[in-house]
Homo-oligomer: A and B are copies of this chain.
Amino acid sequence: MFLFTEFHNKSVGLTIKPKNVYSIFTKYQKLTFLETEDFGKVLVLDDLVQLTERDEFIYHEMISHVAINTFPRKIEKVLIIGGGDGGTAREVLKYDFIKEIHLVEIDKEVIEIAKKHMPFTAKAFEDKRLKVFIEDGRNFVRNTQNKYDVVLVDCSDPIGPSKVLFEKDFYQDCFKILKEDGIFVTQSESPFYSLDIIKDIIKNLKISFPIVKLYTANIPTYPAGYWSFTLASKVYDPLKVDMEKLKDNIKRKDLKYYNEEIHFSSFALPSYVKERLKEVLS
């Protein structure tokens, strides 16, 4: 029997019992693809679980819909850094008013594996509004002349190819390529395990953005089942949204996690998180 365990520290980890295992080394990382009975297909990069077919909807809904629904206006142009599986793009594409999505993935083999094995996320690549750039997201953001309403950083942990996507300069470049009322969201690790990393992310974003807030979601196959996202905004406060309008915006969007109550409640943080972040969250 083959067992895969991702230890989250010296004592505790997530174990997956796959039916099938497929593993390759791409130019950038070790890519493993597992097939399981209860969680369907599982994508693993450098031995860290990136998504499972059963719970990916939570991560992908929560990284996209909070920002989009913070705007009082209809947005048109979204940049996704990473997200080669297509799941984040799938969520963004649910809004008819969004005319163009640029997705910048450094590792083309992630997209290829997704297209071959994960139609549930990769179906996004069939939409003509989505344009893919196989390129280093760090460079793309430095060099592009485009202006976006929203930038979503859907990357792996701040080790390996994603490290530069957690740095101050990158955040400043993201600020520059956002329109004057633009919103930035990055996945920001587990609040149970990584409060030091989260603190740095918030601190670095605050250099450029006037509004920076942390929100969380329960993602069963991520460390501690508890994940965070950091939203940085030039103008709009995600907590000052009209709830009825929000409810109306997301009607018939086939959402399985995000709803108008979750939009607000996801910003409520446990005391141990607030305490450790109090200097940067004030």
Binding site for B on A (CB under 8 A): 3, 5, 7, 9-18, 36-39, 55, 58, 192, 216, 218-221, 223-226, 255-259, 261-262, 264-272, 274-275
Contact = CB atoms under 8 A, between A and B. Distances in A.
B5 A15 contact: yes
A11 to B, nearest CB: 4
A269 B10 CA distance: 32
A12 B221 CA distance: 8
Contacts of A219: 225
Nearest to A19: B11
A100 B37 CA distance: 49
A36 B17 contact: no
Contact of A270 (B14, B262, B268): B262
Contact of A15 (B12, B218, B264, B271): B12
B14 A15 contact: yes
A15 B6 CA distance: 9
A37 B221 CA distance: 22
Given A218-B226, A264-B265, A15 B17 contact: no
A67 to B, nearest CB: 18
A258 B271 CA distance: 6
B218 A218 contact: yes
Contacts of A226: 218, 220, 225
A262 B223 CA distance: 21
A261 B269 contact: yes
A248 to B, nearest CB: 15
A15 B14 CA distance: 6
A259 B265 contact: no
Chain A to chain B: the 3 pairs with minimum beta-carbon distance, closest first: A225-B225, A265-B268, A265-B265
Given A15-B13, A38-B10, A256 B272 contact: yes
A17 B14 CA distance: 11
Contact of A259 (B12, B15, B218, B270): B270
Contacts of A11: 16-18, 36-39
A192 B218 contact: yes
Given A55-B192, A265-B266, 5 more contacts: A9-B38, A11-B38, A12-B17, A13-B14, A262-B269
Contacts of A37: 9-11
B9 A12 contact: no
A255 B272 CA distance: 8
Nearest to A273: B257
